[in-house]
Amino acid sequence: MDDKVTIDLDREIFDELTRRAEFHGHSVDEEVATIVRETVLPLHGETDWVARARKIREMTPLGSIPVSSTRLIRASRDFDH
């Protein structure tokens, strides 16, 4: 079944979806379908933690500089956050 749904989006949201789609190499339609599928479908019994970790890693923009979480926690503590 290939039902189509039309929704009105603010320009800012559409632009962000477009950016995400380009980042993932998808069309905007594919990106929206992926977001909805991952949000709506239950994760019952999902045990492929490696695949989930890879998906999370893919969310990090290319060229990001890794920072130690310990360093971030200490910096936050030092500034009374």
Q: Calculate Rg over the CA atoms of the chain.
A: 18
> Is residue 70 one of the residues assigned to a domain?
no
29 is a domain residue: yes
CB distance 43 to 37 below 8 Å: no
Between the alpha carbon of residue 38 and those of residues 9, 21, 29, 41, 80, the distances in Å are 20, 15, 14, 6, 37
Task: Indicate whether 80 belongs to any domain.
Answer: no
User: Rounded to the nearest 5 degrees, what angle is found at the Cα of 9, between the Cα atoms of 5 and 13?
Assistant: 125
Decide if 75 is inside a domain. Answer: no
Q: What is the pTM of this model?
A: 0.49
Q: Return the structure tokens found at 70.
A: 């310990």
In a domain? residue 16: yes
Query: What are the pLDDT tens digits along the chain (81 aa)?
Result: 578 888 899 999 999 999 999 999 999 999 999 898 888 776 655 667 788 888 888 888 888 888 888 988 998 888 875
Split into its structural domains, the chain has a count of 1
Q: What is the pLDDT of residue 51?
A: 81
Residue 27 has a pLDDT of 94
Range(s) of the domain holding residue 40: 1-45
60 domain residue, yes or no: no
For residue 52, is it within any domain? no
- The tokens describing 40, both together, are 């709506």
